[in-house]
Chains A and B, each alone.
Chain A
Amino acid sequence: MSEIRIQGVWKYFSKGKVAALKDVSLTVQDREFMVLLGPSGCGKTTLLRCIAGLEYPERGRIFIGGRDVTDEPPRKRKIAMVFQSYAVFPHLTVFENIAFGLRMQKRPNAEVKQRVNNAAGMMRIENFLERYPAQLSGGQRQRVAVARGLVMEPQVLLMDEPLSNLDALLRLQARAELKRLLQQVQTTTVYVTHDQIEALSMGDRIAVMENGAIVQVDAPTQVYDYPGSLFVGGFIGTPPMNFLRGTVKSMNGAFALNLGGQPIRAALPANVQAGQDLLMGIRAENIEASAQRSPDAVPARVLVVEPLGSHLLLTVQVGETPIKVQTRMDFNIAPDQTIYLRLEPKQVRWFDPETGVRYDASGSTELK
């Protein structure tokens, strides 16, 4: 068992002036792949370093495999870490880099050799064992860093943006390979990234962080489809979720957007009242664009047309608000034309315009 339990962790920097982590609690299940996702400066790396023991929280406890490790140094935590810079030792060969941790444990030579060869084989770097890191490419160095962690057979594998220093094409390939590998070894993993695609594609669950706090922990599809707040919806997805502000017109009527009185029929959250402002969130792919006017469809003026190969990305203006709409490549449209948008009712989410928090879908009432 190697679940990670983080309880009420606070971490301050700059002599207590800046709180990098504010009361963070998180449980990573045994063998789970947990992604910490957030913009830079949100505290995700600090949280990872607290788990590793490279930083000590001012308050809160951290448990690994049920053991309180809060005050233990990194070497006693049975963790392995892959750094963003890889931190491969330049003065040691690839073999000695991978063997470093085993040598520290004074393992017999034969065992070191066998385990290093195994790990190197898994990462497909067995042909580079005698080289020095300076003679390797970035991608190879990254593999050395992962092999160096895996060879320790850690209870917990911590990864700090391991792919961010690779170029785009290599990153795509490394991402799939890393995912396959980690499914194979089944180690509890905490993976820090600011790349939402990486998070969505790799994680069993994603913990989204903002300003030193975890704002949502959910499976990738859940985080994508049901963002817990404006921030999450706006951070995850390319393009990010669209938000339209509107007023509830009447309780038994419809919800009307502030754009010339075009009413939208959708499932409203429970307990809304007439005159109340709501934010509607909907993703670009859940909006159907049409050149023909129809009841229920919202008129919009086209601002930008971007052909992306697999689809067209339109930037259109609804009332005062620019939003993104995804259509088929063969949709014949030019800027300044007016199109009509149908919003997929099941994919509409509601947010509180003051707090940015999503209204729970349960208990929502279908209005006619």
Chain B
Amino acid sequence: MSAQTKTMPRPLAPSEEMPLNAAANKPTFAKTLGRLALYAAAITISLFFLVPIYLIFISAFSPQQAIFAYPKSILPQTLTAETMLFFWNARGVQSALLNSIIVGILTLVFSLLVGAPAGYALARFFFRGRDSYKMLILTTRAFPIVILSIPLAVNYIQWNLYDTLWGVAFAHTAMALPTTILVTSSIFIGVSRELEEAAQTLGCNRAQAFIKVALPLALPGLAAAAIFTFVLSWNETFAATILTQRNRTLPALVLSQIADVGAPLPFRYAAGFFLIAPSLLYIFFMRRYLLGMWGQVVK
């Protein structure tokens, strides 16, 4: 998102040059107006997301007393890790962080193990009900997990999965699968079928052709999908909260601290920053692959 604002001035350059070779296609007034509106909208939307992030960032790196100060200054007076350290050393944070990472990795592994083959099948085979299957995958996302929560918790207690990291990972896997399946399917669509067929004529069986040709070519995209899944699990609060008691993941811990104990502002800001950081990093580095996945050709 920050990169988006960075590149924003650049598209203006061609329109400045335009008068030089403009004889053929002069920018009309309406076109210019349209462009202006487009950029205004883009800037507004970016600000809408960036301002809160910025405020959280400053607060997380300000001394504790500065957090309570009002009115706030836009530029931070002093930058310090004090608030972040306060959060880091708060009770339960480090073990919750470890839990979050474990759950995230488990989710990533499970959803790729189940989702990637499904995505591959969707990309390569035309089977009866293929399109309905795709729709079905999407509709599972439309089903509100809140309704599922009580039966899920009951079942988890019966299955001895309640309050375990495995249990949370399973729930997250179920939530991540639709995206994983659809994203991996578009990754495999991007790997030409002829490449696998060529490998087959050169002595591979289907599995070898997949491993030697399709997999290496899909790997960057799969890595992006995997990290996406990790971030999804990292951010997930609701299921993690209702399915655990002591083995909280980080967002569940933060939520319960705020709701039950009324955690102080510095804790909230630091936690907020800590939680959004992976997503921001992800978006920053993976934009290229995501664009590729979503149909635009990026070389």
Contact = CB atoms under 8 A, between A and B. Distances in A.
Interface of A: 52-54, 73-75, 79-81, 83-85, 87, 89-91, 100-101, 104-105, 148, 152, 158
Interface in B196-224: 197-205, 208, 212-213, 216-217
Contacts of A152: 202
Given A87-B192, A90-B217, A91-B216, A81 B198 contact: yes
6 contacts: A53-B201, A81-B201, A100-B212, A101-B203, A152-B202, A158-B201
A28 B213 CA distance: 32
A75 B203 contact: yes
Q: Which 8 A-B pairs have the closest CB atoms?
A: A104-B203, A101-B202, A87-B198, A87-B194, A81-B201, A74-B200, A74-B201, A75-B203
B201 A75 contact: yes
Given A89-B213, A90-B217, A104 B208 contact: yes
A87 B204 contact: no
Nearest to B203: A104
B205 A73 contact: yes
Contact of B194 (A74, A80, A83, A101): A83
Given A81-B197, A105-B203, 5 more contacts: A53-B200, A75-B200, A80-B201, A87-B194, A152-B202
A75 B197 contact: no
Interface string B212-253: 110011000000000000000000000000000000000000
Nearest to A79: B201
Contact of B202 (A85, A90, A148, A158): A148
B205 A75 contact: yes
Nearest to A15: B128
A85 B194 contact: yes
B195 interface: yes
B202 A73 contact: no
A80 B197 CA distance: 11
Contact of B200 (A73, A90, A91): A73
A104 B199 CA distance: 9
B195 A87 contact: yes
Interface residues on B, range: 10 to 19
A152 B208 CA distance: 18
Contacts of B216: 91
A291 B199 CA distance: 62
B213 A83 contact: no
A171 to B, nearest CB: 20
B12 to A, nearest CB: 32
Majority SS at the chain B contact face: helix
A13 B61 CA distance: 64
Nearest to A91: B216
B255 to A, nearest CB: 44
A121 B6 CA distance: 50
B42 to A, nearest CB: 33
A85 B192 CA distance: 9
A100 B199 CA distance: 8
Nearest to A90: B217
A54 B197 contact: yes
A184 to B, nearest CB: 22
Nearest to A106: B203
Interface in B174-202: 192, 194-195, 197-202
Contacts of A158: 201
A53 B198 CA distance: 11
A81 B213 CA distance: 16
Contacts of B202: 75, 80, 100-101, 104, 148, 152
Contacts of B197: 52, 54, 74, 81, 83, 87
Contact of A75 (B192, B195, B204): B204
A87 B191 CA distance: 10
Contacts of A80: 201-202
A90 B219 CA distance: 13
Contacts of B201: 52-54, 74-75, 79-81, 158
Nearest to B191: A90
A119 B180 CA distance: 42
Contacts of B217: 90-91
B203 to A, nearest CB: 3
Contacts of A87: 192, 194-195, 197-198
A75 to B, nearest CB: 5
B6 to A, nearest CB: 28
B175 to A, nearest CB: 32
Nearest to A145: B198
Contacts of A90: 195, 217
Contacts of B195: 87, 89-90
Nearest to A13: B126
A73, A74, A152 — which one has the most chain B CB atoms within 10 A of its CB? A74
B188 to A, nearest CB: 15
A104 B217 CA distance: 19
B298 to A, nearest CB: 14
B117 to A, nearest CB: 20
Contacts of A81: 197-198, 201
Contacts of A100: 199, 202, 212
A85 B200 CA distance: 16
A152 B200 CA distance: 13
A52 B200 CA distance: 10
A367 B204 CA distance: 64
A148 B198 CA distance: 10
Nearest to B215: A91
A91 B212 CA distance: 10
B162 to A, nearest CB: 45
Contacts of B208: 104
B34 to A, nearest CB: 37
A83 B203 CA distance: 16
A75 B197 CA distance: 10
Nearest to A54: B197
A334 to B, nearest CB: 38
A156 B4 CA distance: 54
A80, A87, A148 — which one has the most chain B CB atoms within 10 A of its CB? A87
Contacts of A89: 195, 198-199, 213
